[in-house]
Structure 1
Amino acid sequence: HAPSVMKWVIQLCLSAHLAECVPEKPKRSALNQLTRTLLRKYDCGVRPVHNWTSPTTIYIDLILQSVLDVDGKTQSITTSIWYRQIWTDEFLVWDPEEFDGITEISLSSDAIWIPDVIISEFVDGGKSLPIPYVYVNSSGSVKYYRPMQVVLACSLEMYAFPFDKQNCSLTFRSWLHSVKEIDLALWRSAEAIANDKREFMNDGEWELLSIPSSYWQIHQDDTDYAHIQFNVLIRRRPLLYVVGLLIPSIFLMLVDVTSFYLPLSSGTRIAFKISILLGYTLFRVNLTDELPATAVNTPLIGVFFAVCMALLMLSLIKSILVVKLLHHSEKEVRQMSVSACLLDKYGSAAPAQCVFTQEDLLSLNEIQEAPSGLEWLLQDLVSLHLALSQEDSESSVQAEWLALCSKLDRFLFRFYLLVLASYAGTLKRNVLLQLTLYFCGVLQ
């Protein structure tokens, strides 16, 4: 048996040598073992409770980061928020001492149960980044953090633009589960959420006032559903629109008012007013995109621009009317002069000096017989006297007509100022009210 023993010894030595040459198979890491242990029999379609009658409470937290867009035409608002959900998963519990003291791990959100909590006002997801992981600690607490850009349906009130405030809500609820299965609660206190402005980008057009929250249950189909609503209260900063829209428009209206002091006979008033109207039209066209578009009501600033345009048109029409009356043709002025003179001559016994046309002068100076030397001289003196009288009378009539047109111009100018002052008073009350509310809110 010696050869067999030697053979066995040789095989044993070779096996030991080969065992030393082959590397030892590495053990799975504690994190890998923990993940496999938790998900080996996990069913992501089952609500994670041992007792099915126990509801799963979803704690919700919200932080508003910025207001990206407010669209009055579609009645929507685009916001960027940091959204957090925390709940307890009774199937994801372990002892940290069995896994190298691991107390928290990240798991794929597709591998575990995720509550079906939605935003009721949700319209579009925008450009939200997908977050494929959740954090789970050893006690089964699951933290699901998501940065979201959401487009929300909101009833916007644009009448007070640019002094408007908006109140848009984000209502969180479970899409299918009743309050007996999924209940909602706030992760932080309502006061802490309402006054949390640390992450809000406060350098833009909108200013965050507060985010009050409330919880209630709605009864539907013999079942109660839990709701949590966050009201985002924001206020627009009006300085940009006051400087860029209101002040230039007021300046153009003041220039139009001062244009009434141009003399009627200069012929430049109408051209000047047309230039103002054209400039105001271009000003309005260039700033069309700055005004909010609504399908229900017109903002106050839109009414202001429309009335200013109407006042400019009224001013131009009034100037055209006065200039038209001023520049009657010479024939019409002479006819009115002769008619007034004949009425004065034959309607009263007192003598009157009349102004006649050229044909009247020829008939008065016509002599049937050939004049002598003195008669010829007398006829020339009479003709010269009548010609000078006619010229003075025409000048007097034109001066009286100009004075009448000036009186009419002053009357229409006062009427225009009355209309402008009435509208300015109405606008002033609204604007002062909005400014007072705005500055009171800022001081608070």
Structure 2
Amino acid sequence: MTEVKPAELIFLCFMLLHGFVATLNCTSPTPESLFAALETNVFTKKLLRPVKNFSTPINITVGITVVGILGVDEQSQVLTTMLWQVLEWEIEGLSWDEEECGSKRVSVPRELLWVPDIHIAEFMDEDKSPKPPYVYLDNTGHVYDDKPVRVVSSCRLVIYTFPFDVQDCLLTYGSYLHVAADIRLIQGPTAEEILAESREVLETNGEWKLEDIRVAPSTLTLDERSFSQIKYHIILRRRSILYVVNLLIPSCFLITVDLFSFMLPTDSVDRSSFKMTLILGYSVFLLIMNDLLPITGETPLINVFFSISLALMVTSLLETMFIVNIQNSTSNTIMVPHWLSVLVLQYLAVIVLLPRKRVVTRATYFSNTAARAQNFSINSISAFHLQHASGDDSLAKPPMTPPEPALDELRKLSRDLSAIRLHIEKHDQGCKTMDEWRMIGKVLNRLLFGMYIVFITVSFITIICIWNLSKTPQEG
């Protein structure tokens, strides 16, 4: 252990009681003379906080300028920025005469002066920026420390409103060891000045735009110890034009095509195949889209938008299958129920702006068929009819009874004609039933088309409103 000489101990106690340093006296106005005076009175005391009394806190003025936004990693929740960091403080009691020493300000090596242990609480990686070896020292004892800092900081990134998200990343400056009674941080430039200078010198921003900067001095209390801090809120806004062009517009185009596919006639065009092709194309689009979306544990609202779009396309396909089944399969075997015909053709048709259609019931059909069959029966054939069939219209001659074979042939022909008529009437009723089913399908198709439009409109307006209302970043 090195023995402390009594003279050195007395000198140290004298300095602690009567001030840190005094006015420097230079032998000549040369750099060598000034450096010798600093080495004697300042550099030897670099291990001590430069105050006259240890109970006096030293004020550290902090200022930053954002010169680059290097990257935002949503998955790791990390922000990488490039800053110009300025720290200023006073060496209490230090001064020299400018004319006597030959300079008002001098650059000195950083390691020869006491430097505060100011750090950023959100640091996540080593600072790999160049380290300037010098600081400025004024003749009033003012120290000016300006250096670049590459900050890799943690940031709570909220991507719910991606790609229209605004991020609020916090940089908290404070002393790692010294409490507020020893080191007190003072805000330097105002937030407006920092923002204006940052926008002027900002070179690297890429996907992100520097929206705003906020400054808020604060105090951190831990285990009855208070630490002075300054919090800088870096507000970043994502440039969304790339994602709008590559994601939202193509998705809206596909939804629009699916929407207008309702206008295709189901009886002459295979609408189901068309919609299945759209769903396949949209699925391929979603696979390509995954490379552009940020990977985090949070689900962005744009994913909900894509899910709703895909669900609407699948629903549209199911609706088409339902309508095709009504118009083609059911109409060949089953008559339209009376309640369904009344509900759709009398009421829903009015809602979808289609004309009402007269409802033909099963009882009406069979009563008309029976009446027509009774008016033209085989037993109604008489000699008078046969006489008219032979082309003899003379009233002078008495009616003659035709031969029996001719009467049998005419009766057989009558039965065939009656069967043909009944078959034609049955076919005609089947066509009417098919037309009625097709009319029901047309009404339901237009009704579901209207519901489809309403649901798309409400969903998209809701999502757009949520995007607009969620653009304000959270304070943290």
* TM-score after normalising by structure 1: 0.72
- Per-residue CA deviation, residues 54-86 of structure 1 (Å, 9 max, x unaligned), is 333222111112333334444332222111112
Of 446, 449, 453 in structure 2, the residue corresponding to residue 410 of structure 1 is: 446
* Most deviating of 165-174 and 153-162: 153-162
CA distance in structure 1 between the aligned counterparts of 2:72 and 2:460, rounded to whole angstroms: 29
User: How far did 1:185 drift?
Assistant: 1.6
8 Å Cα contact 1:38-1:92 kept in structure 2 = no
Q: In the alignment, what sits opposite 2:63?
A: 61
Q: Give distance in 2, aligned partners of 1:126 and 1:326.
A: 72
Query: In 1, distance between residues paired with 2:79 and 2:48?
Result: 35
* Structure 1 partner of 2:116: 115
Distance 1:280 1:416 in 2: 18
What is the match of residue 333 of structure 1?
332
3-state DSSP of counterpart to 1:228: strand
1:252 to 247, 251, 254: 254
Aligned partner of 2:434 in structure 1 is 398
Instruction: Find the counterpart in structure 2 of residue 18 from structure 1.
Output: none
* Whole-Å separation in 2 of the counterparts to 1:342 and 1:348: 10
CA gap 1:195/1:382 in 2 versus in 1, 3 angstroms: same
- Runs of at least 5 residues in structure 1 that lack an aligned partner in the other structure: 1-29, 355-370, 439-444
Q: Does the CA-based 8 Å contact 2:87-2:146 persist in structure 1?
A: yes
C-alpha displacement of 1:240: 3.5
AA aligned to 1:304 is F
- Shift of the 84–159 alpha-carbon distance from structure 1 to 2, 3 Å rule, reads same
CA contact (8 A) 1:66 1:200 kept: yes
The DSSP-based 3-state class of the residue aligned with 1:400 is helix
Deviation at 1:391, TM superposition (A): 3.9
Q: Read off the aligned partner of 1:333 and give its amino acid letter.
A: N
Listed as ranges, the matches of 1:29-428 within 5 Å are 38=38, 42=44, 44-89=46-91, 103-107=105-109, 109-125=110-126, 127-189=128-190, 191-196=192-197, 197-201=199-203, 204-296=206-298, 298-328=299-329, 333-334=332-333, 344=363, 351=370, 373-375=409-411, 377-378=413-414, 380-428=416-464
Worse-matched range after superposition: 372-381 or 142-151:
372-381
Q: Structure 1 pair 140/397, CA: closer, same or farther in 2 (3 Å)?
A: same
Q: Could you tell me which amino acid in structure 1 is paired with residue 332 of structure 2?
A: V
Secondary structure in 2 matching 1:313:
helix
Deviation at 1:115, TM superposition (A): 1.3
| Count, aligned residues | 385
Deviation at 1:351, TM superposition (A): 1.9
Q: Specify the alignment match of 1:16 in structure 2.
A: none
Q: Is the 8 A contact 1:206 1:236 kept in 2?
A: yes
- Measure, in 2, the Cα distance between the counterparts of 1:345 and 1:189: 89
Q: Is the 8 A contact 1:71 1:77 kept in 2?
A: yes
Query: 2:340 maps to which residue?
Result: none
RMSD of aligned Cα (Å): 3.9
* Structure 2 unaligned spans of 5+: 1-29, 337-359, 374-406
For residue 156 of structure 1, give the secondary structure of its aligned residue in structure 2. Answer: coil
Pair 32,305 (structure 1): closer, same or farther in 2 beyond 3 Å: farther
**What residue identity is the alignment partner of 1:422?**
V
The C-alpha deviation readout for 1:161-193, integer Å capped at 9, x for no partner, is 333333322211111111222222233355533
Change (3 A) 1:171 1:382: same
Return the alpha-carbon distance in structure 1 between the equivalents of residues 92 and 461 of structure 2: 68
* C-alpha deviation, 1:219, in angstroms: 3.9
**Equivalent residues of 2:105, 2:139 under 8 A apart:** yes
Name the CA distance, whole Å, in 1 between partners of 2:280 and 2:290.
16
Amino acid paired to 1:153: S
CA distance in structure 2 between the partners assigned to 1:245 and 1:82 by the alignment:
37
**In structure 2, how many angstroms separate the alpha carbons of the residues matched to 1:404 and 1:186?**
75
318-327 or 341-350: bigger deviation: 341-350
